[in-house]
Structures are given as C-alpha cells and as structure tokens.
C-alpha cells in the first residue's frame, strides 16, 4: 500500500499544476477530480481487485489512476494530451503496475493493447472520468468492438448517464438508451456534484456502470438496420411512429405499406418511439428489413 498523499485533493492538484505550469485545454474537456473518496467509490463499484486488469481513459494528472494502481493487478491508461505524460510519470512513479499510452482512445487498437498488456482470460474493467464532449463516441467504440471486459464504469455528464440508463416512457429514453442497453446492462450508481472538479464544469456528473452482455437481449436480422430504424423513430420525438418512419423510408416504402407492416406486428402506428421496449424495436426493425426486401 502506498501512503503518499492522494493526488485528488485541491491543494495537491494545484501544486502539481503549478509545478508544471499546466493550463487546462478547453478543447479536451479537462476537468480533474479533487475528491479521493469519490474515486475510491468508483474503483469499488467497478469491482477492481489485485486479480483485475484496469484500462483507464484520460488519466489527467493521475488522480483515478493512482486509486486503480493501489487496487488492480495492472493498469493501462490512454492519455491524448502529450503535456500530461511527464506529469503522470512523476505522480505515478511509486507504482510499477501502470503503463501510460499517449494515444487517442478513438484511434487505438484496444484489442491489441489488451493482448499485449494483460493475461489471457484476466478479469478486465474499464474505468474512466470521461470528457463530456466525446463521451458517446468513446463508449460506442468500446461497446461495438466487443472487448473482453466485464464492465465499464465511467464518470460522465449526469444527463447523458440518465439517457444511457433510461427506461421506456421516460423523458431521457431515446436511441442512445437502446444502443447502450443492446450491448450492456446500464445503471447509474452514483451522482457527483460539479463542486468536486477543477475547473468546475457547468453541469453535474454521474457514475454510470455498464455490465457487458454475453449476447444482446434481442435478436435482430441486421444490426445497422436495427440502430438506424430506432434512431428514425426518435427523429422528431413528438411525432408518431407513422410520421417518423414515413420520413425515414421515403422513396422506399409507401405510407400504406408502412401502416400495414406496423399493423401486422401489432404495433399501433399512432404510438411514439419513446413508448417502445427493446423487444418491440427488434420486432419492428426485423419486419421492416424483410418488407424492404420484398418491394
């Protein structure tokens, strides 16, 4: 156990930033956590222990990385900002189980990194305090690549976390909820006030936990078609399925063909996208996939 003072305190964070003359880049959405208790809770929720490997995205000055290094067998962190690499070398110098990769996670071959850095079959967790502006592309990349990880535990903007974990018939439910829940079981495990960040963002955060599914909860004929059809039904939230699908299939299907397809699968054309369950979306997408092939 390492007894040095935690990085995630206001004074220690300020010291490190002043020592290196570091200035925050707005374009990278840099907000560093200054509350070690919250970080310890995130690591606990992620279920990280000495047998686990942990992958972190955007370690910043190493506040969360340090907590991961204290608990995990091995930690690999992706940091896009070259200026932070020497800082991390120093702040994490007392941990020999951490590697920092100076690369954009969106361009990285994560499968290859896992193969190189972790043992085959090792329990892996992704843990991160993600920049708000790029949360969704990062998470969707990680999910669509079907990485061999148990769970993903991330601090993100509260509103986005609520959308990813939302149920049907709620304001937050949309195509993002379906996309995330197709690959995972999603749950908001903790709300985090904006006051525990430096600099302080304008919105509150939440910790979202995604437990990866072995198989999707529904069977779809074509995944791309499924996701684009789901997205279309939320094209204009206040409009009915009939309206949104007519726009989506314009030039491919006539309105009466759309109405007939919906009637055949017992989904009311006057319903709205937000009222459909994942199962209903799968039935709807599969039916329209078949219908398109016959016209």
Whether the bond into 199 is cis, omega within 30 of 0: yes
- Residue 284 annotated as binding? no
d(CA 234, CA 5): 48
SS (H, E, C) the chain: CCCCCCCCCHHHHHHHHHHHCCCCCHHHCCCEECCHHHHHHHHHHHCCCCCCEEEEECCCCCHHHHHHHHHCCEEEEECCCCCHHHHHHHHCCCCCCEEEECCCHHHCCHHHHHHHHCCCCCCEEEEEECCHHHHHHHHHHHHHCCCCCCEEEEEEEHHHHHHHCCCCCCCCCCHHHHHHHHHEEEEEEEEECHHHEECCCCCCEEEEEEEECCCCCCCCCCHHHHHHHHHHHCCCCCCCHHHHHHHHCCCCCCHHHHHHHHHHCCCCCCCCHHHCCHHHHHHHHHHHHHHHHHC
50 is in an annotated binding site: no
Q: According to the annotation, is 251 in a ligand binding site?
A: no
Q: What is the rounded CA–CA span in Å between residue 196 and residue 225?
A: 41
Residue 139: name the closest of 109, 158, 164 by CA. 164
Asked if 242 and 262 count as a contact pair (C-beta separation under 8 A), the reply is yes
Residue 58 counted as an annotated binding residue: yes
- Antiparallel, parallel or unpaired: β 53-57 and 74-78: parallel
**Binding-site positions:** 31, 33, 58, 79, 104, 129
**Binding-site positions for S-adenosyl-L-methionine:** 31, 33, 58, 79, 104, 129
């Amino acid at each position: 156990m390492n007894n040095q003072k935690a990085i995630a305190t206001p004074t220690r964070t300020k010291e490190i930033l002043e020592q290196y003359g570091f200035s925050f880049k707005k374009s990278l959405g840099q907000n560093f956590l200054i509350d070690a208790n919250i970080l310890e809770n995130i690591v606990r929720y992620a279920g990280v222990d000495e047998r686990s490997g942990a992958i972190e995205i955007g370690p910043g000055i190493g506040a969360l990385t340090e907590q991961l290094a204290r608990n995990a067998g091995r930690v690999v962190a992706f940091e896009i900002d070259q200026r932070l690499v020497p800082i991390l070398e120093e702040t994490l110098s007392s941990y020999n189980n951490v590697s920092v990769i100076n690369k954009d996670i969106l361009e990285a071959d994560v499968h290859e990194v896992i193969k190189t850095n972790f043992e085959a079959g090792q329990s892996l967790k992704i843990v991160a305090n993600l920049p708000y502006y790029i949360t969704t592309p990062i998470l969707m990349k990680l999910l669509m690549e079907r990485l061999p990880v148990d769970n993903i535990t991330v601090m993100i903007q509260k509103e986005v976390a609520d959308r990813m974990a939302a149920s049907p018939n709620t304001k937050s439910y949309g195509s993002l909820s379906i996309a995330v829940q197709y690959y995972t079981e999603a749950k908001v495990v903790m709300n985090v006030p904006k006051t525990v960040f430096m600099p302080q963002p304008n919105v509150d955060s939440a910790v979202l936990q995604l437990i990866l599914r072995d198989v999707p909860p529904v069977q779809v004929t074509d995944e791309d078609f499924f996701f684009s059809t789901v997205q279309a039904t939320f094209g204009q939230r206040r409009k009915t399925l009939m309206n949104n699908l007519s726009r989506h299939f314009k030039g491919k299907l006539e309105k009466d063909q759309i109405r007939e397809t919906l009637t055949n699968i017992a989904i009311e054309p006057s319903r709205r996208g937000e009222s459909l369950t994942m199962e209903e979306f799968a039935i709807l997408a599969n039916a329209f996939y078949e219908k398109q092939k016959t016209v």
